[in-house]
Amino acid sequence: MKLKIGDPAPMFTATTTDGSTVHLADYLGKKVVLYFYPMDDTPGCTKQACSLRDHHGEIRDCGAAVLGVSTQDAASHQRFTAKYQLNFPLIVDSDGAIGKAYGAMGDGFLGAAMNLMGMASRITFIIDENGHIAHIIDKPDCAHHAEEVLKLL
């Protein structure tokens, strides 16, 4: 099932970069930029993460938190975070359960191939303060992703 604007955001509990537990429900009352990406430390994913890093203060000033999600483990997320000094948490989705709930796994031929390799598709959901999908960016411009997000916040 593909999520649409206005749908409730699927709630989840997961582990973040630093090993802490995050509950999406804890963000109710705040906007969330939940972005799915294929793999840590690859060219497109690095550009996307660095764009969000560089504009994190502006995104936060709009009342939003940023959460990145991919299927790599915490150690991979820690290396990626340290290498690029990311200033927001990355979520471990090693079984792809969060990606499946958001329809970020196995979309189309390329998505199905990525799913077989255990990778999520690149898609961003902006979740409103009430826990509903406010916007979906299904083909993010990696290098300018933060600007895309800021226009929607």
Listed residue (43, 42, 68, 38) closest to 146, CA to CA: 68
Distance CA 63, CA 31 (A): 6
Active site residue 62: no
Listed residue (52, 88, 89, 85) closest to 74, CA to CA: 89
Distance CA 46, CA 87 (A): 13
Query: Which of 45, 50, 62, 142 is the catalytic position?
Result: 45
Give ∠ CA 41-67-106 in degrees, rounded to 5. 70
Active site (catalytic) residues: 45
